[in-house]
């Protein structure tokens, strides 16, 4: 990307900030793909918020920066390239922008500062056992009783519900209306009686996601965002932000950088892997696609910025699709490079022999876990098949 002198100066400022302000322990966790604790993430949110940079895309009135799309892109990419932790997406990319666009002033004042500083740690209660791709089929029921809604039903795949103290959720308030017209958006305190969180252990042997059950859970009407039965509009706005956020060009770039660093010393058939044609070709292919994604990303960000109402941009589906594929391709590359030493998840297959010990210590130990975790990137925030459908219909007009 060609940057003006001003943009280059901005990039240097951001780069310096991440170099100096990122606690080394957090940086090395991110580099190895390890999960931060809630306290670590909260400490990082506070560092960023003190600098005014935790939610740069938000309206400046609520703690954002007013940066244009190029600066936003530079900022996000520098954060990822520095292996600095990403702020919690549920807070910063999902619930925050919905509050700003559709919440009352009172709700904004109450929630937004704590959303930025992680006093409120939100999880996303959208998917249900029979409503994933077809989200509009959701059936978790909310019945109005005076100043409260009483909720019964179940959410699933709820990322970090076991750490969250709040949830933003879609619930059905009018079961007789057309499906899109009977949904309401609520903020739910996870400490409310009647909520049960059960872990789901995923293919990477980790606990990221959960089932959440609601049994006569009473939520104040004051916690409703926008109008009753109108939440499908707010949900579409949120899903667009989620898809754009899925195009994380900096992470695949950082992984390519890591792959080159390791390949420079990794000997295969007596020669450094980094000098071998097949490896260089594979890296070049990924780098070309990353560059194309980056340019598309800028186009979508510009059109979102020009459209203050945040109407869904179907091109965000293209970003989600390619971004998630490139996440997977870079974790596959690292997995292939690690070979057998990248299999610590398999009991008894930890190959810390002399030849591979330093490699293993440096990065290979987490390669398999990241590889398996990345399988989910083409499922969450709308599966690849769904993005293909949207692109066919909305972009290509088929
Ligand atoms: C790791 C992880 C974290 C998640 N975190 C959250 C979260 O925090 N909050 C939340 O609400 N949800 C979350 N999800 C849920 C996620 O959004 C859903 O898994 C996703 O929308 C797919 O829904 P589903 O699992 O019900 O699959 P289904 O919708 O049942 O789809 C099954 C398969 O059929 C395909 N398919 C479905 N419909 C069509 C169609 N019309 N055309 C072509 N193919 C189709 C799908 O692509 C998929 O391959 C998470 C999921 C994962 C894996």
Tens of pLDDT, residues 337-350:
887 766 655 444 44
136 lines ligand 1 (CB under 6 A): no
Structural domains of the chain, ranges and CATH numbers in brackets = 5-87 (1.10.540.10), 122-229 (2.40.110.10), 246-395 (1.20.140.10)
CA separation for the pair 59, 64 (Å, rounded): 5
The CA-CA-CA angle for residues 354, 275, 254, to 5°, reads 80
Which band of pLDDT confidence, cut at 50, 70 and 90, is reported for residue 312? Answer: low
CA separation for the pair 41, 119 (Å, rounded): 11
Angle between helices 5-21 and 38-51 (to 10 degrees): 140
**Rounded-to-10 torsion of CA 390, 136, 248, 290:** -10
**pLDDT of 362 above 60:** no
CA separation for the pair 65, 47 (Å, rounded): 16
Which of 130, 132, 202 for a ligand 1 pocket mutation test, highest count of atoms within 8 Å of Cβ? 132
Residues with a catalytic annotation lie at 242
Tens of pLDDT, residues 109-164:
999 999 999 999 999 999 999 999 999 999 999 999 999 999 999 999 999 999 99
DSSP 374: H
Residue whose CA is at the smallest distance from ligand 1 atom 37: 133
Tens of pLDDT, residues 24-66:
999 988 887 778 999 999 999 999 999 999 999 999 999 999 9
| Atom of ligand 1 lying closest to residue 155 CA | 11
Q: Is 119 left (phi over 0), alpha (psi -120 to 50) or beta?
A: alpha
**pLDDT of 289 above 70:** yes
What is the rounded average pLDDT for all residues in the chain? 89
CA separation for the pair 126, 158 (Å, rounded): 8
Q: Are 218 and 178 a contacting pair, CB within 8 Å?
A: no
């Amino acid at each position: 990307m060609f940057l003006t002198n001003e943009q280059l100066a901005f990039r240097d400022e951001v780069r310096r900030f991440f170099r100096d302000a990122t606690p080394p322990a957090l940086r090395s966790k991110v580099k190895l793909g390890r999960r931060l604790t809630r306290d670590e993430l909260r400490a990082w949110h506070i560092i960023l918020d003190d600098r005014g940079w935790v939610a740069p895309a938000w309206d400046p009135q609520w703690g954002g920066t007013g940066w244009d799309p190029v600066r936003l892109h530079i900022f996000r990419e520098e954060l990822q390239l520095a292996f600095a932790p990403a702020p919690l997406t549920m807070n910063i990319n999902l619930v925050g922008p919905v509050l700003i666009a559709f919440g009352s002033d009172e709700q904004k004042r109450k929630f937004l500062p704590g959303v930025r500083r992680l006093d409120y740690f939100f999880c996303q209660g959208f998917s249900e056992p029979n409503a994933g791709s077809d989200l509009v089929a959701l059936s978790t029921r909310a019945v109005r009783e005076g100043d409260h809604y009483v909720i019964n039903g179940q959410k699933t795949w709820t990322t970090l519900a076991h750490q969250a103290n709040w949830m933003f959720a879609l619930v059905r308030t009018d079961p007789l209306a057309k499906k899109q017209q009977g949904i309401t958006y609520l903020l739910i305190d996870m400490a409310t009686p009647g909520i049960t969180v059960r872990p789901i252990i995923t293919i990477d042997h980790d606990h990221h996601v959960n089932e959440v059950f609601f049994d006569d859970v009473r939520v104040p009407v004051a916690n409703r965002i926008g109008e009753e039965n109108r939440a499908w509009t707010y949900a579409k706005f949120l899903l667009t932000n989620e898809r754009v956020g899925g195009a994380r060009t900096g992470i695949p770039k950082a992984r390519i950088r890591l792959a080159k660093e390791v390949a420079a010393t990794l000997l295969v058939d007596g020669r450094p892997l980094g000098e071998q044609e097949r490896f260089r070709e594979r890296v070049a292919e990924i780098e070309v696609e990353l560059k194309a994604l980056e340019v598309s990303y800028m186009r979508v960000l510009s059109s979102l910025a020009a459209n203050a109402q945040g109407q869904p941009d179907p091109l965000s589906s293209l970003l989600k699709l390619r971004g998630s594929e490139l996440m997977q391709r870079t974790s596959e590359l690292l997995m292939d490079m690690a070979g057998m030493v990248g299999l610590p998840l398999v009991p008894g297959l930890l190959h810390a022999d002399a030849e591979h010990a330093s490699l293993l210590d440096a990065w290979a130990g987490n390669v398999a876990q990241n590889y398996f975790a990345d399988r989910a990137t083409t499922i969450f925030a709308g599966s690849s098949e769904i993005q293909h459908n949207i692109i066919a219909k909305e972009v290509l007009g088929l």
